[in-house]
Amino acid sequence: MGGHAVKKRRVVVAKRTGPGRSATKKPAVIKKPAAYATTSDYEEEKTCLGEGAFGVVFKAHHRATGQTVAIKHLSSPPPEVASDAPDPSEQLLREARFLEACNGDPHVVGFHCVVRDPDTIELGLVMEYVPGQSLRDILEDQRNGTAPPFPEATVRAFMRQLLTGAKGMQERSIVHRDVKPANVLVAEGAEVLKICDFGLAISTSDPTPHGEVGTVLYTAPELLLGKPDTDSLADTWSLGCIMAELVDGEILLLRAQRMCDEGLAYLWSIFWLLGTPDDVTWPGFASLPRAAEMPPRAEPTGVRLISHRAPNFDGPALMPPLKPGQRSRLRELYPEWTLSDEGFEVMSGLLTCNPEKRLTAAEALKLPWFAEDDEDYMTRSYC
C-alpha cells in the first residue's frame, strides 16, 4: 500500500554473532494495542491516501480536537488468495501492535488507536497523517524527468533516517518484511522520512516458517532461496535496494522477464551483479532449499537486465551464464562520479548476499559516510 501521503501538484533478528557483534537480546513481546475508539469519533474525508490489495487508507479528522489523521481499513482479500489470507481484523490488530511498539520513533509512522464500527464491528487503524508524497512517487517523477535527481548529501540524509527507523524496529524485534519506496512517506519539504505499512510485519519470536512475502525487487536473496525464518537483515537488504534507487533514480534490478519463477529469475540477476555465492563466500548457501535450482548454466538464461543511465556501463541485453567465483559488478553500475567511496561502502555492505556478512542498521550508521553533516541538504525542493 502506498502510504498516507497525498501526491501534490509540483510547485517548484534472529541471533547472530561475529566480529564486533553481540547476540540479539530476547525478542520483545508485542502486546495488544491499548487504545480503542469508535468510528463516530472521526469524520472521514473522501481523500484516498493509499490503496492496496488488502485495504485502503483515508484522510480523517478527530471530531473533538480537529486533529488530522489517516485511517486504514482492511478489505476482504482477493478470491485467489482468500483461503490463505489471515482474518482482516486479526491482521489489522497485529499491525496496530507493531506500530504501537514503535510509537515515538521519528522515522516510523505514528500510531493513534484502533477504531471499531459499532454497527459492523469492523476495525480501522488510526495513524499519524503525513502530508507530502511517498518516496515511490518522487522516484517516479525523477524517472519521468519532472523532478531533479538527488545529490549525494540528500541520499545520505534519507538513508540516515531510514536506517535509524530500521534500527529502532530491530531493537523492538520487529521485521517489517516489505520495506520499499512505496512504504516510505516523505513529509513536505523532504525534512522527515517515515516507514509505514506494517501489514506484513512479524516479531522475531513468531514461530517459523515465516513464509515468503514482500515485493520481489526488494526481497533478500536468502528468502528467495527458501530460508524459513526472517530477521532484520532482510530489511537492511531492502534498504540497500532503496539506496541504489536513490543514487540514480533507477530500480536496482527490474523484475526479470522470463518464462519461469520470478523469484529465481531475480536471483540470477542478483548473482550476476553481486557475484556468484559458494560455500566459501556464503557458508551454508548450498543447503538452502532452493539453492539446487541455481546451478551455473552453459547458455544465457534469457533474463533481461535493467537499462541504467550510467553511460560507461556496458551490460548485456540478456543474462550471461553464471560462473563460480564471479566477482561483483556493483561498482561498475555506480562509479565514483555517482557515489563516493564512503557511500559505496554503505551500499555494498547492505547489498551483501551472505546475511551473516551484511551490515545491520546499527553497523551501517557507524560508518564514516554518516559522519558528514547534512544540515544544508535541502537546498532544492523535492516535494
pLDDT, tens digit, for every residue of 20-56?
354 444 444 455 665 678 889 999 998 899 886 678 9
Per-residue confidence at 297, pLDDT binned at 50, 70, 90? very low
User: Is the per-residue pLDDT at 255 higher than 60?
Assistant: no
The tens digit of pLDDT for each residue in 150-181 reads 999 999 999 999 999 999 999 999 999 999 99
325 conformational bin, left if phi > 0, alpha if psi -120 to 50, beta if neither: left
Tell me the angle at which helices 232-248 and 135-143 cross, rounded to the nearest 10 degrees. 30
72 known ligand binder: yes
User: Residue 79 — very low, low, confident or very high, per pLDDT cuts 50/70/90?
Assistant: low
- pLDDT given for residue 131 in this prediction: 94
Give the confidence band of 290 by pLDDT, cuts at 50, 70, 90: confident
Q: Which domains does the chain possess?
A: 36-128 (3.30.200.20), 132-371 (1.10.510.10)
The Cα diameter of the chain in Å comes to 69
Residue 308: predicted pLDDT? 36
d(CA 343, CA 368): 9
- Is the backbone peptide bond immediately before 209 cis, with ω within 30 degrees of 0? yes
pLDDT band at 306 (very low <50, low <70, confident <90, very high): very low
Identify how many contiguous H helices and E strands the chain contains and give both numbers.
9, 11
Given a contact cutoff of 8 angstroms between Cβ atoms, the answer to whether 209 and 228 are in contact is yes
For the chain, the 3-state helix, strand and coil shares in percent, each to the nearest 5, are 30, 15, 55
How many whole angstroms separate alpha carbon 372 and alpha carbon 152? 11
Mind telling me the catalytic residues? Answer: 178
The 10s digit of each residue's pLDDT in 220-253 is: 999 989 998 899 999 999 999 999 999 998 888 7
The grid cell for 100 is: 504501537
Q: Are strands 68-74 and 111-116 parallel, antiparallel or unpaired?
A: unpaired
CA distances from 211 to 177, 230, 270 (A): 10, 8, 21
Rounded mean pLDDT, 108-118: 94
Could you tell me if 56 and 48 are in contact, meaning their C-beta atoms sit under 8 angstroms apart?
yes
13 within 8 A of 231, measured Cβ to Cβ: yes
pTM of the model: 0.83
Q: Is the pLDDT of residue 364 over 50?
A: yes
* pLDDT over threshold 70, residue 9: no
CB 57 within 8 A of CB 48: yes
pLDDT (average), residues 333-342: 95
Contacts made by residues 55-58, CB under 8 angstroms, sequence distance 24+: 55/1, 55/88, 55/92, 55/199, 56/1, 57/1, 57/3, 57/4, 57/127
Residue 167 per-residue DSSP state: H
pLDDT at residue number 336: 95
Among candidate residues 350, 322, 337, the one with its CA nearest the CA of residue 252: 350
For residues 37 and 187, what is the distance between their CA atoms, to the nearest angstrom? 27
Q: What is the CA radius of gyration of the chain?
A: 21
Q: Rounded distance, CA 38 to CA 113, Å?
A: 10
